[in-house]
Structure 1
Amino acid sequence: MPTPTSGDGRRGANAAAVLRAVLDHGPVARSRIARLAGLSPAAVSRQCTDLTRLGLLREMPELVAPGAVGRPQIPVDLHPGTAGGPLAAGVHIGVPQSTFCVADLRGRILARGSFRHEGVPAGVLPDRVGRALAEFITPYVGGGRLLGVGAVLGGWVDPGRATVVRHDALDWHRLPLGAELERHTGLPVRMDNHARAVAQSELLFGRPEARRSLVHLFVGNVVDAAVAIAGVVHRGPRSAAGDVAHLPVPDSTVVCPCGRTGCLEATVSDTALAREAVARGIVPEESAALIVDAAASGDRRADELLRQRARAVGRATGLLLDVLNPEQVVITEQSSLLEAEYLAEIRAAAVAHSHVCDDPERIVVPHAGPAALPVAAVTVLLNPLFRSPLQTLGKTDAMAPSQ
């Protein structure tokens, strides 16, 4: 027989249901929250009181409709960071640079910064990133508003141990990065692979259909993926799920360092793209951003190179569609985030190569657009809060019982 849910368990589940309803529909009256969450009005009232005490919700009496009577009609919403509400810090550690941000409970970016990695040896890079992050968040530390730090990067990341198991491009192996960032910032740190974090960001803040089933394909200097079913991102044993670097790309003849031909990362990564652009004389140095800029300035050679990559990404997407047949495929790839034409190339190639998908609209870019990675970083911190707000903030013992 299933174990009955304890009073504390019901209380935590109810708090999460209320917080989720407010995230999706706020500002929203308590009476409507009760209908959305399937809870009694009394339970909703108690949870709103608890969540307001924790600083997560705020009453908005100024939005009460004329003629409305009684407190249940007063809308509540997530406490905005611009009005003294909680904040989350995030860091995306890429190959050329780290990007920092501070965001509110809805994942809306309030401040951004960056730290370039050029000339910094792999062995000291974690320390330098930690120092730069600590300096960036200094104006937001104090008063208990900053909940912690979410950190994301490519490669094999073990979230439970806050460890980078393997990131070949950065030459990091078995690196306890979470502890390093905590040492510098003095804040709790949560970590995950960037592909899984973007997928989780779509589940938390993105389109509703993503909560049924989702595949996310990340194309940068690292190429990896994530799968989510029924609102849960799959990690697999040892958190190793999502390694698609050697997924075969139909028609690709690029030789991979592994010795095979046509592997996905060797074909479409930013590193491969930039190397090819330099070889063709399109840009003077190996930089994917320069290729995108050149194409935007009218360089037809840069445009065609980006289209070639988009078609290769699309062919790989077609394979993923056939294997997993998700409701939605999210593609994080620089050119398609900025220009719809490259997303159209990905969609056309995917549908042409897929045996199960004839709807190109199932293939989308992240809801946050070019801010996808900073938003994904703060999502790593915020997702546990929305799943279990009372436990995550560690104040359940101090609060009056409710259910």
Structure 2
Amino acid sequence: MLSLVAPPAVTRTPPPTEGGGAGAVLRAVLAGGPLSRTALGRATGQSPAAVSRHTSELIGIGLLRELPPVEGPPRAGRPQLPLDIDTGHHLACGVHIGAPWLTFALLDLRGRVVAQERLPRTGDAATVLATVRGHLPGFLARRAGGRSLLGLGVVTGGWVDSEHGSVVENTALGWRDVPLRDLLVGVPDARISRLPTHVDGHARALAQAELLFGAGTGCTELVELFVGNVVDAAIATGGTVVRGRRSRAGDIAHLPVAGSTEPCPCGRLGCLQATISELTVARDAHARGLIPRADITLLAALAATGDGAALRLFEERLRLLAPAASLLLDMLNPEVLVVVEVGMLTVPGLREYFAEQIGVRPEPAQLVTVGSFGRDVLAVAACAGVLDATYQRPMDLRTARAAG
């Protein structure tokens, strides 16, 4: 889909925050590769000796690979072999826990979905995590093809405390204070049980993915809005996703919506998430006789045909979301505002309608775009934390290998 404004013409590698020179080299190749070692030195500001050392290390652990020399007239000196991301050795594994589905996914180092499977989510938290533990070994046996695993991501909506690996609150699931990481212990597969586990909220995970592979490539300031059964925001500044105390930064679920009387599980009326969640909108559409059951994908498909009543429900949803988006834009002035919402992903014209509602001007600092990952959004979210950690701290992979 077209953006309101063209992205910046010059791609800038987000500044390194962790991982030292090797991380900077790996991220530069991701952003602009294939690159020669000379180009890598210019991109990262590192000396030829440092670039040579880091590229050798990254090749050795299967994160970079050398390509054949670029065709052209002979040049004096050693041939400049371009370096690119090696997508053949490693995969990121992840699980997204949503209200209707569990999504199991494998992504390569460029954030491309290699495989995904879905199961219905049923039962309480302990039952769900038992299902995850039981399904992962077979999923990997069927789909990983023997490739090395970088880590395991576990992602869901709501308030997720990444440091402690727990879900503090996810009202769509009915979960409170669920020790997600602890409940995953005991996967009956040695290579999974040894993996680092990254627990996060899906808005933050998607913000990380957009910075690495999507609409945020080359940007350092980004806001992500995820509008599903859970309504979340994530904020990136300086190329790093902000977490805040107990990972609560970006919690917009309980912002008040003027005029709304929708009851919220928190006990109040008119909270943003309760008012515009997929469940609420789909239930309204079903009550009006627009769709045979309360399923937001059915409503989106109907709106995509041009049905006026269905389209108006999505427009109303976006109109109610607009004040929260305007507030974030005014406070943070990001380069990119990424919105993941099924109507905007499916129905032409809704992105432009939303931009009009929040009053975006055609300036690079206020750019509205639709999420980059389409129907793979939950699979990408599941694995994004693993890939972000790899690009930030690639030499941890060598340490992990030595420990194993």
Any stretches of 5+ residues in structure 1 without a counterpart?
Answer: 1-8, 352-356, 399-403
Q: Which has the higher contact order (CA 8 A, sep 6+)?
A: 2
The structure-2 alpha-carbon separation of the partners of 1:99 and 1:136, relative to structure 1 and needing over 3 Å to count, comes to: same
Is 1:333 the counterpart of 2:338? The answer is no
Distance 1:396 1:149 in 2: 16
More helix as a share of residues:
1
> 1:305 pairs with 310, 313, 329, which one?
313
Q: Which amino acid aligns with 1:116?
A: P
> Structure 2 vs 1, CA of residues 104 and 167 (structure 1 numbering), >3 Å: closer, same or farther?
same
TM-score of the pair, normalised by structure 1: 0.86
Alignment partner of 1:100 is 2:109: no
Contact 2:66–2:84 (CA<8 Å) still a contact in 1? yes
Letter of the 2:295 counterpart: S
Identity of paired residues, percent? Answer: 44
Could you tell me how far 1:263 is from its partner in structure 2? 2.2
Q: 1:214 pairs with 198, 222, 231, which one?
A: 222
Q: 1:25 offset after TM fit, Å?
A: 1.2
**Matches of 2:163 and 2:212, distance apart in 1:** 20
Cα distance in structure 2, aligned partners of 1:93 and 1:394: 30
1:53-202 equivalence runs, <5 A: 53-61=60-68, 63-71=70-78, 73-80=80-87, 84-117=88-121, 119-140=122-143, 145-184=148-187, 185-186=192-193, 187-202=195-210
**One-letter amino acid of the structure 2 residue matched with residue 365 of structure 1:** V
Displacement of 1:397 in angstroms is 7.8
Distance 1:318 1:73, change over 3 A: same
Is this contact kept in 1: 2:93–2:107, CA < 8 A? Answer: yes
Amino acid across the alignment from 2:168? V
Deviations 1:38-92 (A, max 9, x none): 1112221111111100111111115454524554510111112xxx321111221
Alignment of 1:232 with 2:237, yes or no, is no
Cα RMSD after superposing both structures: 2.7
Does the CA contact (< 8 Å) of 1:165 and 1:175 recur in 2?
yes
Superposition deviation, residue 96 in structure 1: 0.2
Q: Any idea what the Cα deviations from partners look like across 1:336-367, whole Å, max 9, x if unmatched?
A: 1223312122111111xxxxx42386111222
Structure 2 spans left out of the alignment, 5+ residues: 1-15
d(CA) in 1 for partners of 2:284, 2:199: 33
DSSP 3-state at the match of 2:109: coil
The structure-2 alpha-carbon separation of the partners of 1:201 and 1:48, relative to structure 1 and needing over 3 Å to count, comes to same
Contact 2:233 2:250 in 1 (8 A): yes
Moved more, 86-95 or 314-323: 314-323
TM-score by length of 2: 0.86
Alpha-carbon distance in 2 for matches of 1:157, 1:362:
27
Tell me which moved more, 293-302 or 231-240.
293-302
- Trace 1:2-13 onto structure 2 (pairs within 5 A): 12-13=19-20
The structural deviation recorded for 1:133 is 3.0
Q: Is the 8 A contact 2:301 2:346 kept in 1?
A: no
Contact 1:91 1:374 in 2 (8 A): yes
Q: Distance in 2 between matches of 1:99 and 1:68?
A: 51
SS in 2 for 1:183: coil
Contact 2:162 2:246 in 1 (8 A): no
**Which residue matches 1:270?**
278
Q: Tell me the number of residue pairs that the alignment of Structure 1 and Structure 2 aligns.
A: 381
Seen in structure 2, the aligned counterparts of structure 1 residues 140 and 68 have a Cα distance that, compared at 3 Å, is farther
The offset of 1:270, in angstroms, is 0.5
Q: Which stretch shifts more, 169-178 or 221-230?
A: 169-178
Change in 2 beyond 3 A, CA 1:16/1:343: same
